[in-house]
Structure 1
Amino acid sequence: MELDDLDWKILALLQEDGRMTFTELAKRVSLSAPATTERVRRLEAAGVITGYSATVDPQRVGLPIESIVRVRVRSLDTPRFRTNVLVLPQILGADHVTGDDCWLLRVVCRSMVELEQLVEEAQRYGDTTTSLVFSSHVRNRPVDISIFVGIVSR
């Protein structure tokens, strides 16, 4: 899908505030509300906008232990790993990557015991390395429209 400057501006604004009304969005991009609504619907239909969500702080809801678990899954165990480990509710993110470790899991847990149990489950399918997260300095960063040539700045 070819995106124009108005599409990029809409994307930037919705990344800043996904709850912005179509009326407010239309004002900010200097279009009518119906025209803005149509553009957003087109971006959704094309799969450019994949959803809207609230960001929850895991610590504030009782999940103080955060870690990155790297897993080197044996190739024959990959289907079972996907079926039995990736579905665990403690896993907030799972990236299949190149390199020695083939999976990077972002995990949150209520306790070290719970983390230990999760790691033991993952170890059924390969070797693991677990790193505790002290702090996160970049998380859920929106796509920056300024990296695209010819895009009108915000």
Structure 2
Amino acid sequence: MIDDIDRRLISALAEDARLSVKDLAARVGLSSPSVSDRLRRLEERGVIQGFSVDVALEPLGYTLQAIVRVKPLPGKLYIVQNLLSEIPEVIECDKVTGDDCFIVRLVLRSIAQLDEILDRIIDKAQTSTSIVKSQTVKRRLPPL
């Protein structure tokens, strides 16, 4: 389990992963060595799995996003899973229960690009695609 100080450290890093250990220490009221030790233990326990950057997609030319439900044809599950992992525009993919096996989030520069990507899997899976109009809730931490 994590305590209140760990929760505050994680929340601060979720807001800004570039905070220095000194700044983190000031926020939680501990010394820098204590914060470093806590961060190391959180990483060792797998609570903190890495640090990342939040990139705006539109300036990179990705003006569209799509959610694709993917149902592999019989015997094609692992082929489809491997194929999805190789497509760079797949920024998230969840293996799920229910009628579909995968829920995929794609970033796209055009509708034509969507067709190109779907054409790569159409002989291996059934798909159902929705274009994302807006993301009303961004990926965030669950309650700590």
TM-score, normalising length from structure 1? 0.88
Ranges in structure 1 where 5+ consecutive residues have no aligned partner: 146-154
How far residue 124 of structure 1 moved from its aligned partner, in angstroms, is 2.2
Which residue in the other structure is 1:66 paired with?
65
1:47 partnered with 2:8? no
How far residue 4 of structure 1 moved from its aligned partner, in angstroms, is 1.4
Which residue in the other structure is 1:27 paired with?
26
Which residue in the other structure is 1:81 paired with?
80
Which residue in the other structure is 2:137 paired with?
138
CA–CA separation in structure 2 for the residues paired with 1:64 and 1:96: 25
Tell which has more relative contact order, 1 or 2 (C-alpha 8 A, sep 6+): 1
CA–CA separation in structure 1 for the residues paired with 2:84 and 2:48: 28
How far residue 70 of structure 1 moved from its aligned partner, in angstroms, is 0.6
Ranges in structure 2 where 5+ consecutive residues have no aligned partner: none
CA–CA separation in structure 1 for the residues paired with 2:61 and 2:98: 33
Question: Among the aligned pairs, what percent are the same residue?
Answer: 35
CA–CA separation in structure 2 for the residues paired with 1:5 and 1:130: 42
- List 4+ stretches of structure 1 deviating above 4 A: none
Q: Return 32-41 or 84-93, whichever deviates more.
A: 84-93
TM-superposition CA deviations, 1:69-103 (whole Å, max 9, x none): 11011352111112222210010100001111111
CA–CA separation in structure 2 for the residues paired with 1:63 and 1:12: 29
Contact 1:67/1:132 (8 A) holds in 2: yes
Q: Return 92-101 or 69-78, whichever deviates more.
A: 69-78
CA–CA separation in structure 1 for the residues paired with 2:63 and 2:103: 19
How far residue 143 of structure 1 moved from its aligned partner, in angstroms, is 2.6
Which residue in the other structure is 1:104 paired with?
103
Which residue in the other structure is 2:8 paired with?
9
Contact 1:94/1:106 (8 A) holds in 2: yes
CA–CA separation in structure 2 for the residues paired with 1:58 and 1:105: 17
